Amino acid sequence: MEYVAAKTTMCRQCGRSFSPGSPKAGLKLQPKESPPQASEPSGFRKIEELWTRNRNRVVACFECKRKHEVSDAATSTNCPGCSAHIDLRDYKITTSFSRSIRTRGELYLTSKGDLSSTSVICKSALIEGKLRGNLHCEESATINFVGKVPGRLVANYVSVERKANVQCFRRIHVASIDIKGRMAGEIIATGAVNIHKTGVLEGNVTAKSINIDKGGIFSGRLIIGQGDLTQAELLPETKPDAAGPDQAKLPASSAQPLPAT
C-alpha cells in the first residue's frame, strides 16, 4: 500500500526503487473484514431460549411441611427450615424393587417391574406392573395393569384406565377418581367418583358425589356425605319415659284422672 500521489517508492522486501502503478487486473485487494452484525433472533430461537431457560417449582419438606422454591433441574435439595434432605429424582422401575422411596419426583412402574416396597411416597405415579406395597401420591396416580393391589393407595387423583382390571384389598383414599376399566375395592373420596361408560366398580363407596355414565356399572353400598355416618345418626334419638317404657304418654287434656260416678 502506498500514498496515491507518490511518483516513486521503494520495495519493502528487496529495497529496489520503482514507480508505483495500478494493480493488475487479476489482483484484488482484500478489504478489511468488519465484524458481523448481530441479527435479531428468529421466532424458533426465541422459543428454544424460553424452553431451555431454567424453570422453578415449589416443593414441600417431608418433615416440617415447609414449602420453598427450587430449580426444575435439581435432583435434591435441603429444607431451609429444618435442613432435612429432599429427594427430587424420578424413578423408573423395570425389575424387582423392594427399597423404600420418598421423593418429590415421579414414579414409573413398567409392565416388567415389581414394586414391593413397604412405603412409596412420590409426586405422581404411572403403574403398569405389580404393586405390592403402599403408595402415597401427592398429586395423581394412573393405574393401567391387571392384578391385585394388597397395599394402601392414597392420592389426590386416581385414574383407572380402560385396560385395567385391579382388585384392591385395602381402602383407597382419594380426592377424586375416574374409573374407565374394572376395579374392585372400597373407596373413600372427599370429592367425586366418576364411572365412565366402560367402567365397572364393585365395592363400597363413600364420597361427596358419584357420576355414572350410561353403560357404567356399580355394585356395592353407597354413602353420600360423611364417611363416619352411622345408623344412630340417621334416626332421631328418643328418650324413655320416666314412668317406665310400658306406659305411653297421654295428651295434656287427659293427664288428670276422671271423676268417679
Per-residue confidence (pLDDT) for residue 43, from 0 to 100: 63
Per-residue confidence (pLDDT) for residue 222, from 0 to 100: 92
Q: Is residue 65 located within the same domain as residue 126?
A: no
Q: How far apart are CA 250 and CA 239, in angstroms?
A: 16
Q: Is residue 171 located within the same domain as residue 133?
A: yes
107 CB burial (10 A radius; 0-12, 13-18, 19+)? buried
Q: How far apart are CA 195 and CA 181, in angstroms?
A: 9
Partnered with residue 216 across adjacent β-strands are none
Instruction: Kindly state the cell numbers that stand for 50.
Output: 424460553
| Cβ atoms 68, 58 nearer than 8 A | yes
Instruction: Kindly state the cell numbers that stand for 12.
Output: 519493502
Domain span holding position 119: 89-228
Instruction: Kindly state the cell numbers that stand for 175.
Output: 380426592
Domain count, the chain: 2
Per-residue confidence (pLDDT) for residue 23, from 0 to 100: 57
Q: Average pLDDT by consecutive 10-residue portion of the chain (261 residues)?
A: 74 76 56 54 61 74 89 87 90 91 93 90 93 91 93 94 93 94 94 94 93 93 68 44 47 45 38
pTM tops 0.75:
no
Per-residue confidence (pLDDT) for residue 248, from 0 to 100: 43
Q: Is residue 167 located within the same domain as residue 67?
A: no
Reduced to 3 states (helix: H, G, I; strand: E, B; else coil), residue 202 is strand
Q: Is residue 65 located within the same domain as residue 96?
A: no
Partnered with residue 194 across adjacent β-strands are 178, 211
Q: Is residue 212 located within the same domain as residue 94?
A: yes
Residue with cell 422454591: 69
Q: Is residue 64 located within the same domain as residue 171?
A: no
Instruction: Kindly state the cell numbers that stand for 149.
Output: 393391589
Q: How far apart are CA 143 and CA 149, in angstroms?
A: 10
Residue with cell 431460549: 49
Q: Is residue 69 located within the same domain as residue 187?
A: no
Q: How far apart are CA 212 and CA 197, in angstroms?
A: 8
Q: How far apart are CA 56 and CA 108, in angstroms?
A: 22
Instruction: Kindly state the cell numbers that stand for 232.
Output: 344412630
Assess if residue 101 is contained within a domain. Answer: yes
